[in-house]
Amino acid sequence: MLGVFSVMWSEHCSYKNSLVMLRTLPREGEALLVKAGEENAGLVDIGDGLAVAFKIESHNHPSAVEPYQGAATGVGGIMRDIFAMGARPIAALDSLRFGPLSDNRVRYLFDGVVRGIGDYGNCLGIPTVAGDVYFEKSYRGNPLVNAMTVGIVRTDRLAHAVARGEGNPVFVIGSSTGRDGIHGATFASEEITEESEERRPQVQVGDPFTEKLIMEATLELIENGCVVGVQDMGAAGITSSASETAAKGGVGMELDLDKVPLREKGMIPYEIMLSESQERMLIIAKKGREEDVRRICDKWDLNCAEFGRVTSDGMLRVKWHGQVVVEIPAQSLAAGEGAPVYTREAEKPDYIDKLRNYDFNKLPQPEDCNLVLLSLLGSPNIASKAWVFEQYDTMVQTNTVVLPGGDAAVLRIKGTNKALAMKTDCNSCYVYLNPRRGAQIAVAEAARNVACTGAKPVAITNCLNFGNPYKPDNYWQFQEAVLGMGEACRQLNTPVTGGNVSFYNENPDGAIYPTPVIGMIGIMDDVHLHTTTWFKSPGDWIVLLGRNKGEVGGSEYIKMVHDLIAGDAPSLDLKFEKRLQQFLLQAIHNGWIKSAHDTAEGGLAVALAECCFLDHEHWVGAEIKLGENMRSDFLLFAEDQSRIVVSVAAEDLTHLQQLAKKQEIPLLVLGKVTNNARLRIHHRDKLVIDLPIVQMADVYFSAIQNAMEIY
C-alpha cells in the first residue's frame, strides 16, 4: 500500500505543489465542452457536431537518460490521452529544449529524441506538423521533451475517464505488463543527478505498432457503445488509471491481479500495480457487453483480460492469490482531494534586479550589420528546423495544408470547409528575465502565430517546466509565470483547457530556465483563406503592423553578438495585442493580406529575410526604408512584441491603411517586394543591410544540419 501512496502522492501524479496556482487560471469558455482537468485532454467545440481534443505533456526525465525511448513513449502516452476520449489523433507537435549543439552529449540527446518522436509518430500514421526547438546552456544536463497531440471527435461519441455502475466489468487491453517503468512517476518527481543513468529501467519501451492496434480497438469500442469509461495506463499504470476513474465516479473498484497478462515471471503485486509498461488501456465496460469487448480486441489481435469490477463502497481493493493486498479509499489518492496540496515558499531571485538594470546603450555598435544578420540566421534558435521535421511524416492522412517551417501549421478538417491552426511556443530567456511578462509573451506569440495563418486563437494547453519547487526562487518563478499566463489568456480569450506540470528539471549545474510552453489552437472557418509566411509577388507592398521600439533585452542579438543574457523582457500591451490580432484576421478575411509573418527571435531583419526565402520554390527580394531615430542594430534586431510583417497587393494598400486608422493600429509601409534576389535595408538614408537571398538562405537552411554532421 505504501507503494500506491508513493506514486499517487508524487508530484507527477498529484500536482501537490502546483494545484493552488493552476486553479487561478481561466478554465472556462463558451466553446469549451469540459473544464480543465475534468478529462484526459481539453475539448473545444468547433461546430458541425465536432470537437477538437488536445493536450501537451512532458517526458523530460526519461529523455535525459534514454532519449530515443523517452521521446517515443512521450508521444505514445499523449496519443492515448486523446483517443481515450474517442478522438482520432490528426496531428502531433513537439516542443524541445537542449543545451548547445557544440556539446557531444547534447547532439546525442538531440538525435535520439528526434528519431524517437519521428519513428513513433510515423509508424502510428500521425503527422508531426509543428512545434518549437531552442538551445540554451541551462538545458545541457536536463533537456525538455514536450509532446502535444490534437484529435477530432464527434460530440455524440465522447468517452469519459470515469468508472460508474456497480458490477460493471473492468478490463485491461493491449500489451502485457512487465517490470519496465516501475516508479517512473516518482523518477519524474526528483532532480536529475549523476546517478540518473542508473534509472534506465524506469524508462518505458514503446511499441507504436501495438499502439496503432489499441487506438483502432479503443475507438471501435467507443463507437459501438461498449464502454462506460476509458483511461490510459500512463504514469503509475494500473494504480493511477483504476484509482482516478473510481474517484472521479465516486465509486470503488475491485481488481484481481492474477488475471493481468504478464510478460515476466515472478512479478509481485507491487510490480504489477506500479508498472508503466506502455500501450495498455483500462476499459470500464457495460455489464452484458463483455463478449463485444473481447470480440473487438480479438479482431485487433490484442490482449483483453477482465480483471475487476466496479463496486459501490468507494474502495480500491486489490487481490492477489486470493489475498487482499491493497485496500484504500480511492478518493484518498485523488489529486486535489485526498492527495495533499501545498503552497511553497516563494522568494524573488537576486539576479532579476541585477540583470534588469543593464544599460545596453554602452554596448559598441557593430561595424557590419550584414555579418550580424548572417550570424543570427545561423543561430540554432532561429535557423531552419528542417533537420528535425524532415525526419517526420508531415503529410500522412492528407490533411496538412501549411507544412512545418512557417508561423503555425494548418490542417483541414475533412468533410467541412474548416481548418485548425496549431503552434507551440515559449521564449524561456524572456521568462528567466521576467517570469510574469515572459509567460504573457508566450501566450501572445503563440496566438499571434496562429492568427498569422488566418485562424482565430480559441484555447491553449500548457506544459509548465520548472526547477525544484522546494527552492523558493524556483517557486517564485512558477507563481509569476502562472499569473502572467492567466492574465494573457483572459485578455486574449484563450482559456486553459489543461496540460502538465514538470518540476525538478535540474541537474548538478543548476535549474533550467523556467519554460512554460504554450500549445495554441485556432479555428479557421474557411480553409481557402489560409495565409502563409512568405512574400508572393514583386511589386507588392511590405507593411509592418505594430511599432518598432528597439527593446533588445533577452534578444538573440544580445546573446549571440555580446554574449549577454540581460535586461528585461520586451514590453507587452495585451489589449493592443488583442486588437492587432483582430485587425489582422479581418484584413485576411477581406482578402487584402498576401502574406503574414510574426516578428520574433532576431527581430525585424530576420523576419524580412525569412519572408524572402521561406517559399522554397520561389525566392524574392525586398527593398526596405526605415526612418526611426534609434541605433540601427537595435532597430534591426530588437525583439519588440506585437509586430507582424505583411505583404499587400498595390490595389489593397489604401484599404488596409484606412482600416488601420479606423482601428488605431500603427501601420508602417516599409518598402516593396522585388525580383532582384537581394534584401536591402536602408536606415535614415544609409544602406545597413545588403545581402543576396541565396547567401542568407544557405546559412539559414544548413546551420543545424552542419552542426549535426559532426555527430
Nearest CA among 542, 696, 677, 697 for reference residue 620: 677
Round to whole Å and give the CA distance between 599 and 440.
Answer: 16
3-state secondary structure of 416: coil
Contact 283, 272 (CB under 8 A): no
Contact 592, 651 (CB under 8 A): no
Round to whole Å and give the CA distance between 570 and 549.
Answer: 9
Question: What are the grid coordinates assigned to 395, written together?
Answer: 503529410
Round to whole Å and give the CA distance between 540 and 621.
Answer: 11
Give the containing element (helix H, strand E) for 105.
helix 104-124
**At a CB cut-off of 8 Å and minimum separation 6, what does 434 contact?**
352, 356, 568, 569
Query: How many other β-carbons are positioned within 10 Å of the β-carbon of residue 11?
Result: 20
Q: What are phi and psi of 688, to 5 degrees?
A: -100, -25
Give bridge partners of residue 172 from the DSSP assignment. 282, 305
Side chain identity, residue 150: V
Side chain identity, residue 701: F
Q: Residues 105, 123, 280, 22: what is their CA dihedral angle, to the nearest 10 degrees?
A: 60
Please list the active-site residues. Answer: 12, 59
Round to whole Å and give the CA distance between 168 and 173.
Answer: 16
Round to whole Å and give the CA distance between 102 and 706.
Answer: 11
| Beta strands per DSSP E along 429-538 | 456-465, 496-502, 506-507, 510-511, 515-524
Side chain identity, residue 446: A
Burial string for 397-432 (b: 16+ CB within 10 Å, else e) reads bebbbbbbbbbbbbbbbeebebbbbbbbbbbbbbbb
Instruction: Please give the distance of CA 5 from its chain centroid, rounded to a whole number.
Output: 30
